[in-house]
């Protein structure tokens, strides 16, 4: 059963002293984003994040950073099959954001066709959703300790 929340997980690596971020291209429509997905059953957002990182990126992440960034997503963007267990007055659900240092190679699931490792500006330019850009900004600030990024 799908839980009424989403997660967003940002893979990053430090290369030549700079953070790089992995953006993934969706298989079902032309969009770049980070690892994302919904909670299942009674999972916590952190448990859902670990599962989604493994499912979509083939990585067993244990160094997850919880970000302050959070947004709410309208439920009308989800297929009806995910809504059947939610209360009828569930119009928006929270999306919790996380970052994780990705030391292994990404192994794409069927949900994505390709991935790119990009510096902050390049990753930001690829992203469609404001929630992804906001979470990226926060993670980049945390990694660089420069709040003018």
**CA distances, 27 to each of 19, 23, 108, 111, 119 (Å):** 26, 13, 10, 5, 23
**In 3D, which of 123, 121, 117 has the Cα closest to residue 149?**
121
Angle at 97 between CA 127 and CA 38, to 5 degrees: 90
Q: Which residues contact 64 (CB under 8 A, 6 or more apart)?
A: 9, 46, 49, 50, 53, 98, 99, 100
Residues 29-41 have a mean pLDDT of 93
pLDDT reported for residue 148 = 52
Query: In the predicted model, is pLDDT for residue 123 greater than 80?
Result: yes
Separation CA 93–CA 84 (nearest Å): 14
Does the domain made of 2-144 have the CATH classification 3.90.79.10? Answer: yes
Tokens matching residue 114:
């390709």
| pLDDT-derived band at 98, boundaries 50, 70, 90 | very high
pLDDT reported for residue 130 = 93
Which residue is it, tokens 């059963």? 1
Domain ranges of the chain: 2-144
Separation CA 143–CA 67 (nearest Å): 12
pLDDT reported for residue 82 = 65
């Amino acid at each position: 059963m799908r839980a009424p929340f989403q997660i967003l997980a940002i893979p990053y690596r430090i290369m030549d002293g700079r953070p790089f971020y992995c953006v993934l291209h969706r298989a079902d429509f032309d969009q770049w984003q980070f690892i994302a997905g919904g909670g299942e059953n009674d999972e916590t957002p952190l448990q859902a994040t670990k599962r989604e990182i493994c499912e979509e990126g083939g990585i067993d992440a244990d160094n997850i950073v919880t970000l302050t960034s959070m947004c709410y997503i309208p439920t009308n963007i989800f297929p009806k099959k995910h809504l059947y267990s939610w209360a009828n007055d569930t119009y928006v659900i929270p999306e919790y954001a996380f970052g994780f240092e990705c030391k292994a190679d990404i192994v794409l699931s069927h949900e994505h066709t390709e991935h790119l490792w990009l510096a902050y500006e390049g990753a930001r330019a690829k992203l469609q959703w404001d929630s992804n850009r906001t979470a990226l900004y926060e993670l980049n600030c945390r990694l660089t300790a420069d709040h003018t990024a």
